[in-house]
Chain A
């Protein structure tokens, strides 16, 4: 009897141990440096919240999007926290797929979030996701090559200057190319860059009545300029280059300029990974004097799907991961240069950060220069700088991206690519009921 009693007591003790961690959060995320760092620091969160445990699901960006969309549309409830971009937030919020974040806590300081980023993750004034790190795009250039050629990069360069400099700095025999730009097809790859570039040339995806605009002279100028520039001053095989390929080229010293995500700044200035770490300068993305720069706006953000049964614990986690204290935690463990950038005003007022991150000022200026609600020179019916926040955009954007990538590769003329883009977009927009 004693033995049985002992066994029962023992068993109940064993059972009681896991009961401490009552809520298990499943967090879906992408494999980006800042997210991996967050994963590594989860212990600090669970230490402060012993009743919550955390499980991570890291997936490739497109797989994650598909996986999460399926789950959220079927209310599968497999995830409690999602990592999503500014593209998804307004669309999903409108569908009622996301829980509004109203209880982030008294010391969260929502007002401290960068206004442009906050706008991008809100709908009708309500916050539906908390930005984890934000980014825009800017020019990264080699100060040594510019000095050698006697060129001086202005803070706000025009496209004419960039094109001229790119041609002058190209030394194909020496393996140095004037400019590296995205060419790989995809709505988040070449189309992110080209849409942002087209904004600076006064082009737009749709007019106020959702009519596609690829048959306008603005788009023709954009694409012709891009293709010609890349032919003269770009690396070979550019039509298969995305962010990572260009990062590798720039780090290996093969690009004089690279226009891409501001988050790249911390990679190209890291001496461990980059051969040119101490020779990089930054400038705003180019313009044509029409009032818009060729830079985009994006924020990887944390949100709670409507199917989650643990939204309280999930919100607690989100508040922790996007708080000022989290920034301080990362700084104390890995240094200021490694804190997630682009979400809070206070970070850019912090002298330690500004000292550790030479790109801080330009990142902030770039983010401020992008306006998702008024992305182009002419009025548009959509929200989003380098995308149009409608569900159909992923498919259309990638289709158009393939045509433009073909134009860059030379297998198609610029006119043919634009015509194909126009008819494909018209067809999809008709099918979706935006136009008749």
Chain B
């Protein structure tokens, strides 16, 4: 039986939720506000919250100095491409591990995850040399490839846990009705796993979008995504917070919008359990 919800409880929990929501959102809000300040105001102590001289000159400077569209396109291609390829590899892998596990499945899963435990800088030089030999430095394909490989363990793990929640009986029932593996995958498994797939896709997209080690180290100008665009606004000698904030706001805008629109899927996927 559902607990009776009193008005007071609703009010308290609503205020609490808004408070924590605001707390989490605050750094982003602060960044957006700073992007409309002058450099001196962005650095001012005590800082002014809303009552400052609003200006869009930072955005104009950023537009003038950098090729935002090129960087954004690179980000879309690299994040999107690496996510799609990762899913193509991860779905069959997770499927086989979830539905026909062997004695070594657990070890394989752990081994895959262990690759994420090494700091990336440890393999920077070998990877750089390999990329140099194959002509992949500063290429979108090279970045798609490395981000795909980097995120693959997480994608497989996530999908594996989602697939495991699906009762095998349902698949067996489908098989009894004469479904082939292909049909079983398309008509039975996929519809049930869609929320899980969607959230994996989105999470991986965000991870790839924000990835700042490989994208900074393996690209120079042609394949440079938005991470390089942001990094170019930090300055050792000169005030830069407002311009950096403007660049960051522009860089996160696409993924923020995407996140807003697919919020429902994301929440559903993250809280997804069995076939509720």
Contact = CB atoms under 8 A, between A and B. Distances in A.
Interface of A: 26, 28, 30-33, 36, 39, 55-61, 63, 66-67, 70-71, 73-79, 188, 243-245, 247-249, 251-252, 261, 263-264, 267, 273
B238 A60 contact: no
Question: Shortest 9 CB-CB distances between A and B: which pairs?
Answer: A248-B43, A58-B232, A60-B234, A31-B235, A61-B236, A55-B221, A78-B220, A76-B132, A57-B220
Contacts of A73: 125
Contacts of B40: 248, 251-252, 273
Given A30-B235, A31-B234, A245-B43, 6 more contacts: A32-B238, A60-B234, A74-B128, A78-B137, A78-B220, A244-B43
Contacts of B125: 70, 73-74
A393 B220 CA distance: 27
Contact of A244 (B137, B224, B238): B238
B38 to A, nearest CB: 8
Range for the number of chain B residues in contact with chain A: 20 to 34
Interface string B234-251: 111111100000000000
Chain A CB within 10 Å — which of B44, B221, B224 has the most? B221
B238 A33 contact: yes
19 contacts: A31-B236, A31-B240, A57-B221, A59-B228, A59-B231, A59-B232, A61-B236, A66-B217, A67-B217, A73-B125, A74-B132, A76-B132, A78-B137, A244-B43, A247-B238, A248-B44, A248-B239, A267-B238, A273-B239
B110 interface: no
Interface string B28-48: 000000000001100111000
B170 interface: no
Contacts of A244: 43, 235-240
Nearest to B42: A248
Nearest to A55: B221
B113 interface: no
Contacts of A267: 238
B119 to A, nearest CB: 13
Contacts of A261: 237
A337 to B, nearest CB: 15
Contacts of A77: 132
B39 A26 contact: no
Interface of B is mostly: loop
Contacts of B237: 32-33, 243-244, 261, 263-264
Interface in B209-229: 216-217, 220-221, 224, 228
B65 A39 contact: yes
Contacts of B65: 36, 39
A57 B129 contact: no
Given A55-B221, A60-B231, A76 B128 contact: yes
B233 interface: yes
Nearest to A31: B235
A32 B236 contact: yes
Contacts of B216: 59, 63, 67
Contacts of B217: 66-67, 70
A181 B220 CA distance: 35
A75 to B, nearest CB: 8
Contacts of A75: 132
Contact of B231 (A63, A70, A251, A273): A63
Nearest to A62: B236
Contacts of B236: 30-32, 60-61, 188, 243-244
Contacts of A251: 40
Chain A CB within 10 Å — which of B65, B138, B221, B237 has the most? B237
A39 B233 CA distance: 14
Contacts of A188: 236
B139 to A, nearest CB: 11
A108 to B, nearest CB: 26
Contact of B39 (A39, A61, A66, A273): A273
A33 B236 CA distance: 10
Nearest to A251: B40
Contacts of A263: 237
Contacts of A71: 128
